[in-house]
Structure 1
Amino acid sequence: MWKSRVNYCLDKFMDLSHNMLRGEIPKEVTTLIGLTYLNLSNNYLTGAIPCDIGAVKSLNYLDLSSNQLFGTIPPGISDVTHLEGLNLSYNNLTGKVPLPNNFSAYAFIGNHNLCGPPLAKNCSANESLEKTECSSDRKSKGQNDGIQEKEHTHGFKPFKEKPSFYISVASGFFTGFWGFWATLVLNESRGNAYFRLLGNMGDRIYVFVVVTTARLRRKFQGEQAVE
């Protein structure tokens, strides 16, 4: 059930509290469109609250209390405008409580490293400016998506990206190829010498192949005669 990847709406009410669930809260929970009540309290859940929890706009009640969750509270939780009940108490959450929120301190107690309203503990300057895991992930994801989109849009255009490289290769090939043959064509003596060399080399290769083939044939026939 934790690993379900289907994006649909079944029960709007999900209460799995007071079980012995372990591991992280699956990100797929944030794809349950229409979910209004989610209670995962009093388990042994670890890890961070899913960054996209704010995508479940229909949530009216969220209870993740009495687990072992850590990390910062996703800023997107403030986007759930219909959220009337929230309980994140007695975890190991850190950082500043996202604003705006209309919840009492009871929703956040038991997290000794949380600060900011409605808690009595004030945030230091460093905590106020601290970037959450979710904001860092969102930034990295946006940068990666931008790079992929740019590559997908423009495609790979080698002649556009490095024209000087291909021009130099083409000019070098042209110069070397025609420079060699032009020398042979314009200088008759060199041309004749070159073609004689090729002819002699071809003859030598032919003779070598014929002699080697004859030797192998005689050797093979001799071995058959002995048998």
Structure 2
Amino acid sequence: MNLSKLDHIDLSFNSLTLKMSSNWVPPFQLSFLNLPCCTIGPRFPNWLQNQSNLNYLDISNSSIYGVIPDWFSNVTSKLLYLNLSFNHLDGILPNLTLSSHDGSLVVDLSYNQFHGAIAPSVSNGMEIYLSNNMFTRFKHFLCTPKDNLMVQVLDLSDNWLSGRMPDCWLPWRELVVLNLENNNLWGIIPSSLGSLSRLQTLRLRHNSFSGSLPSSLNRSSQLQLLDVGHNNLNGKIPTWIGENLGLKLLSLKSNEFYGKIPSNLCQLNSIIILDLSLNNFSGGIPSCIHNFTSMVHNNNDDADLTATFSYRHGGEPFRKYKNSALLIWKGLEYNYDKILGLLRLIDISSNRLSGQIPATLANLVELVQVNLSRNHLSGIIPINIGGLSRLESLDLSHNELSGKIPKGLAKLSSLSYLDLSNNHLWGKIPTSTQLQSFNASTYAGNSGLCGPPLTSTCPGDEPASVPSNSSDGNESYVEDGGDWLDMSWFNIGIGVGFAVGFWGLCGTLAYKTSWRHAYFRLLNELGDWLYVAIEVQKTRLRRRLQS
């Protein structure tokens, strides 16, 4: 077979094992090679050495170990797409010959074991994914002067980057996504970050940044996701955050922010996830939160909360970056990505908030989680909280709430996590399948609560006691033997009732031929009906799966 004109190979996602000898020289020159999830390791494939016309190369998740050979820079000179992710490549990243293109250039080296400094040549890409490696330095990569820098996605998350964040972001003004989370960066967030006016996603979570959020970020008016959680940031919430009307996710979690929650935050009519937990906010919860209209109307089809962008000089017209966020869900911390945009969540737990829970909270009917725990909130639980029909998780524990549990709470059929513990609630727990299904710890620390699942009985619900007859001296009979006698007659009654019912039916069928035939005909017809119903449902399900 003559393969000299072969130009395109695509064996993607087939779990094939490709075995080539180390001295094999392909008789063809490829422009497209797509082998993700094919085993071509453990060594870096030497047969790529003479492939100088490649535009597209994807050998991700291919069980390749070791360092990238020096000759590989000759292979990359014409690439528009390079993906070596999810391998076991290590060593220092070499200077790859990556030409600037008017079209797209994607470089994905994530999920390997590269270490040391990031090579400056990588910045010629349009999308740069270097996450989940062991890089320690990036100042030279970031601050080396460049002309016509067109990078739109820079993901350096989950590395070992340390030190202060370099203050040289001006050449990176085309960035749409910047992800530096889960590193060891410290110091203040540089003001030059405000030059990124096209930024939609800024993720700085899990570092050690301090100081306040720079006011220059008010120029990043297209921000949709701002996550600076788990740092040492302080100060009040800047005014510019409330003026960024496109913001969908705001996480200031686990910092040292203080002051009142500003009322202009209510202008965020696109917000779907608001996490201000583990700070020092004080004052009340703004009653204007009903203006979070994206929590009132479910008009968001962006299930994974993506940042979208296009290349200005050709290439693919439409690209997406899938975001993720670390959120507390039903008491446990999860990293959400695929369904992130479907959540509607407010978490203001572990602050110093006081006052009442605003009744307007119940207007946010698309909410699936509310966590206001560990504050100093007082007053009653809003009686209209039963209007949150989609609510799955509600945590109001460790506050100073009083009054009765609203009956509307018993109507929330989606509620699967509830914690009202350690408040001053009183009265009978409303009876419902939902509220009685929770563990007693859900209601613990409320000395005035009673009724199931608690062991404390409500006044008026005590079982009637058997009166004692002290005149005849038979107190011991009433207390000790009376219960046994009642139970004996009860058991005898059950036995007699069962015998009468059983032999009444069986005896009639035995002696009445026409009734016996009718009875078994009914059983046969019922069996036939069940069989047909099950087969119809199976057929419908099969058709749905096929379509």
Normalising by structure 2, what TM-score?
0.23
Shift of residue 6, structure 1, vs aligned partner: 2.6
Shift of residue 107, structure 1, vs aligned partner: 0.5
Of residues 419, 434, 443, the one that matches 1:87 is 419
Look up the match of 1:21: 353
Is 1:108 matched up with 2:443?
Answer: yes
Look up the match of 1:78: 410
Look up the match of 2:452: 117
CA separation in 2, counterparts of 1:47 and 1:119? Answer: 23
Look up the match of 1:32: 364
Shift of residue 99, structure 1, vs aligned partner: 1.1
CA separation in 2, counterparts of 1:113 and 1:63? Answer: 19
Look up the match of 1:9: 294
1:103-138 superposed Cα distances (whole Å, 9 cap, x missing partner): 1101100000100000010001189xxxxxxxxxxx
Shift of residue 3, structure 1, vs aligned partner: 1.8
Is 1:59 matched up with 2:391?
Answer: yes
CA separation in 1, counterparts of 2:353 and 2:448? Answer: 24
CA separation in 2, counterparts of 1:124 and 1:18? Answer: 35
Shift of residue 7, structure 1, vs aligned partner: 6.4
Q: Which has the larger radius of gyration?
A: 1
User: Does structure 2 conserve the Cα–Cα contact (< 8 Å) formed by 1:51 and 1:76?
Assistant: yes
CA separation in 1, counterparts of 2:294 and 2:421? Answer: 28
Q: How does 1:144-159 map to 2 (within 5 A)?
A: none
CA separation in 2, counterparts of 1:30 and 1:8? Answer: 12
Is 1:68 matched up with 2:400?
Answer: yes
Of residues 97, 117, 124, the one that matches 2:429 is 97
Q: Alignment identity in percent?
A: 40
Q: Give the structure, 1 or 2, with the largest relative contact order (CA under 8 Å, sep 6 or more).
A: 1
Q: Counterpart of 1:34 in 2: which secondary structure?
A: coil
Is 1:47 matched up with 2:397?
Answer: no
**Which amino acid in 2 is paired with 1:15?**
D
Shift of residue 8, structure 1, vs aligned partner: 2.3
Normalising by structure 1, what TM-score?
0.54
Shift of residue 9, structure 1, vs aligned partner: 2.8
Q: Counterpart of 1:117 in 2: which secondary structure?
A: coil
Q: Counterpart of 2:438 in 1: which secondary structure?
A: coil
CA separation in 1, counterparts of 2:461 and 2:452? Answer: 16
Q: Counterpart of 2:287 in 1: which secondary structure?
A: coil
CA separation in 2, counterparts of 1:33 and 1:114? Answer: 28
Q: Counterpart of 1:69 in 2: which secondary structure?
A: strand
Q: Name whichever structure is richer in helix by fraction.
A: 1
User: Does structure 2 conserve the Cα–Cα contact (< 8 Å) formed by 1:7 and 1:31?
Assistant: no
Q: Counterpart of 1:9 in 2: which secondary structure?
A: helix
1:10-43 superposed Cα distances (whole Å, 9 cap, x missing partner): 4601110001111000001000021001000000
**Which amino acid in 1 is paired with 2:392?**
N
CA separation in 2, counterparts of 1:62 and 1:103? Answer: 12
CA separation in 1, counterparts of 2:461 and 2:425? Answer: 16
Q: List 4+ stretches of structure 1 deviating above 3 A.
A: none
Look up the match of 1:175: none
Structure 2 unmatched ranges of 5 or more? 1-262, 264-285, 296-342, 463-547
User: Does structure 2 conserve the Cα–Cα contact (< 8 Å) formed by 1:13 and 1:37?
Assistant: yes
1:155-205 superposed Cα distances (whole Å, 9 cap, x missing partner): xxxxxxxxxxxxxxxxxxxxxxxxxxxxxxxxxxxxxxxxxxxxxxxxxxx
**Which amino acid in 2 is paired with 1:109?**
A
**Which amino acid in 1 is paired with 2:452?**
P
Aligned length: 127
User: Does structure 2 conserve the Cα–Cα contact (< 8 Å) formed by 1:48 and 1:70?
Assistant: yes
CA separation in 1, counterparts of 2:444 and 2:428? Answer: 13
Q: How does 1:197-212 map to 2 (within 5 A)?
A: none
**Which amino acid in 2 is paired with 1:113?**
G
CA separation in 1, counterparts of 2:403 and 2:461? Answer: 16
Q: Counterpart of 1:54 in 2: which secondary structure?
A: helix
RMSD between aligned alpha carbons? Answer: 1.7
**Which amino acid in 1 is paired with 2:345?**
F
**Which amino acid in 2 is paired with 1:44?**
H
CA separation in 1, counterparts of 2:293 and 2:390? Answer: 13
**Which amino acid in 2 is paired with 1:63?**
D
